[in-house]
Chain A
């Protein structure tokens, strides 16, 4: 039976496919491992070059020499950089990201708390970016150099150039303080803290799971303004890229052929141009999303959003290296996974195209 499985053509094809698939998986894991290791090594080195003394954060400013020295040894700072890095990697492999000096919590718990906040914000941002940016980009390409195109260009540059630390407070004072359309800074009103059990860490999901629609609405009202700002910045980029890709496709010969054959504009754009541009647009969107997931430090600071950006920048300023490295691992993994996912999507779309 086993012999038959190997000797039959169908069996051989099955095993060859399985072998190729295993190779791909192994290659993927190897790439994930090497990239993560490189990322960790660079962050570790940069963090050790920080001018801030991490012992100072741990023991404070007013301790005796003995206490200082003990903390110095406890942090392992007396060991060589290579030993420190190896020890850290071993801990990571065991799933131990260490304790954050600043919060006193295990870094993994902190990340579980702050990363969902950033995901919520980034997801709304990218949704706005795609739903507004792609159509605007297509329309701008179709009306190249028209007043509409110029208007979109101005609107995008406006969004890209205005600093959030200026625009954010103004938007808050208009939409929150004056008009009352949205809620103020923070992720949720303080009166709702602790009213829904944290299952996923996402306020919207957790409140929906608990059927607390008042909390859901409040979470949404807090999310809208910072999400809109992130969306504005990402749609500016996405719409410009969409315009470029569509224009490139429109200049190709097949569009002219289609027009000569009498196809409608809608059919040409919908079934040919957009489809051909899509495989190139997917990585643009994926990378925009990954950038948003890094955490937008200034947006999070202005809107008092307890996300990854604020967490990591605070940790970096205070030489809380466990927190910084933990955050870097998360960001790195997100980048790698989104990149791979967009590659996969691109291939899928290309094969459909074929």
Chain B
């Protein structure tokens, strides 16, 4: 009996931590001057603006660095100077002279000068990181960059291109993260092996934006603080913290409990639950991101235009938006998202199984065919893929889903190993050229081409459209340029190996006491400077 009592004591002493719980008070709520956000930060690979190309890091850079130019969040065609005060174009249209605003300071306290701007653009070209193509597409490379981007006065520098591109295109590119200005002296003091300070800046900060990046603990949190040297209206918040919470259900829980102020990237089902709560509000804004299907033209049935046309009639577009985005999105059947120069709102395709079947019969596939589709192994991709699998089955097309990790999918896509891929594509800058180049430009379909665009990845060659992309990029007349993009979209819709599905909104779920959040059409334009906690 003694023995039983002894073991029973051991067993029952330990598990009820419960006797401990009530005596340890929990912190609840977030500090008043601090904004805490929960989202999955595992896409952050670098904090160097010359290197940043992912969603999370773009948003952080957008709030901590100042770019050369900015754009109106309600009308992206209205571009204004941020670090630049003004600009003028040379007579031949190849050079733009930018004047720099005086009085700006970096978080280090050093004044921001034209030398910093020139250095920042130079290092983008020298480092040749992913986003460098935004600048190098104007014919600027390692050999000519010192001549092409050069200081021409105390507060002026010149930006010279190989050809006179459309001004709206060039200016849009200079609103991207890649045009962020870094503190030259600070960065160079950490240079190692001629890396222009990239090794150091990947994990540190050297900017002049409203917030400064205090610390980044990978897969844990990123800490931002108000930059007291910021030249514009200083943020109300003292601190902003991004917490890495990989599970969206846990992000929702934290928000409901009040331990974070924002929960980001929640699924449609979570948002519909949160929508009913009185202490939480939702803010949705269309983002320049599109869900689309792409067909590899090396795959036999897919290279037939009638087959592609048939597939477009087998999709229930509105149902995808309603189910997988909870209605927070718009059907888009052209390659440009809404609100951009030349974008088209028409929806010529709708679900029409009879028509699809007759098109398939015309193409010689009356009984359909079997194919595989590569898809990311997370929601909403898997859900959309299963819905498409069912829709396509109505036309006799048997889809096998190849559910794989994001990087695996990209590897296969870049190697052109897919048949069909369900993917997601976002604008790199707020100009139609960004998507036109991706979806229609393919001057060289060989394996070693310089341009591995989406058209190349799907082995789709349309020489006339490649020429049209070039022409539109050089067109200086805005109205004419808009017409060219409308034409280009129509051609890609008709002939291209894509089905554009829908454009998704970004929805932020937040506590009711948060006011003043401004969401832009891209993540680097989401602004937290104006946020106030009531």
A132 touches B15 (CB 8 A): yes
Docked pose: A131 CA to B17 CA in angstroms? 13
Return chain B residues, CB-CB under 8 Å to A113. Answer: 217
Write the B395-409 contact mask toward A (1 if CB under 8 angstroms, else 0): 000000000111110
| Known A113-B217, A270-B3; contact A228-B11, beta-carbon cutoff 8 A | no
Return chain B residues, CB-CB under 8 Å to A310. Answer: 219, 246
Among the listed A66, A183, A302, A318, which residue makes an inter-chain contact with B250, where contact means beta carbons less than 8 Å apart?
Answer: A302
| Known A64-B450, A136-B11, A184-B257; contact A317-B407, beta-carbon cutoff 8 A | yes
A182 touches B243 (CB 8 A): no
A139 touches B410 (CB 8 A): no
A182 touches B21 (CB 8 A): yes
**A326: CB under 8 A from chain B?**
no
B241 touches A190 (CB 8 A): yes
B220 touches A317 (CB 8 A): no
Return chain A residues, CB-CB under 8 Å to B3. Answer: 142, 265-266, 269-270
Residue of B21, B22, B247 most packed against chain A (CB within 10 A)? B247
Chain A facing B: main interface SS: helix
A110 touches B411 (CB 8 A): no
**B18: CB under 8 A from chain A?**
yes
Q: How many residues from A make CB contacts under 8 Å with B?
A: 71
Q: Which bucket holds chain B's interface residue count?
A: 35 or more
**A255: CB under 8 A from chain B?**
no
Closest residue of chain B to A173, judged by CB?
Answer: B253
Among the listed A56, A64, A102, A176, which residue makes an inter-chain contact with B253, where contact means beta carbons less than 8 Å apart?
Answer: A176
Return chain B residues, CB-CB under 8 Å to A311. Answer: 219
Among the listed A53, A138, A302, A303, which residue makes an inter-chain contact with B414, where contact means beta carbons less than 8 Å apart?
Answer: A53
Docked pose: A341 CA to B21 CA in angstroms? 35
**A52: CB under 8 A from chain B?**
yes
Chain B facing A: main interface SS: mixed
A172 touches B250 (CB 8 A): yes
- Complex interface: stretch among A15-23, A214-222, A286-294: A214-222
**A65: CB under 8 A from chain B?**
yes
Docked pose: A303 CA to B220 CA in angstroms? 11
| Known A61-B414, A63-B133, A306-B217; contact A314-B42, beta-carbon cutoff 8 A | yes
Write the B127-150 contact mask toward A (1 if CB under 8 angstroms, else 0): 011111100000000000000000
Docked pose: A132 CA to B11 CA in angstroms? 5
B53 touches A62 (CB 8 A): yes
Given A61-B410, A65-B448, A139-B7, 6 other A-B residues pairs in contact with their CB atoms under 8 A:
A52-B407, A64-B451, A70-B128, A181-B21, A190-B36, A218-B27
Binding site for B on A (CB under 8 A): 51-53, 56-57, 59-67, 70, 101-105, 110, 113, 128, 131-132, 135-136, 138-139, 142, 169, 172-173, 176-177, 179-187, 189-191, 193-194, 217-218, 220-221, 224, 228, 264-266, 269-270, 301-304, 306, 310-311, 314, 317-319
What are 26 of the A-B contact pairs (CB < 8 Å)? A53-B411, A59-B130, A61-B53, A62-B130, A62-B452, A64-B450, A64-B451, A66-B450, A67-B128, A102-B45, A132-B10, A132-B15, A135-B10, A139-B11, A142-B4, A169-B250, A173-B253, A176-B257, A177-B253, A190-B243, A224-B17, A266-B3, A266-B6, A303-B250, A310-B246, A318-B407
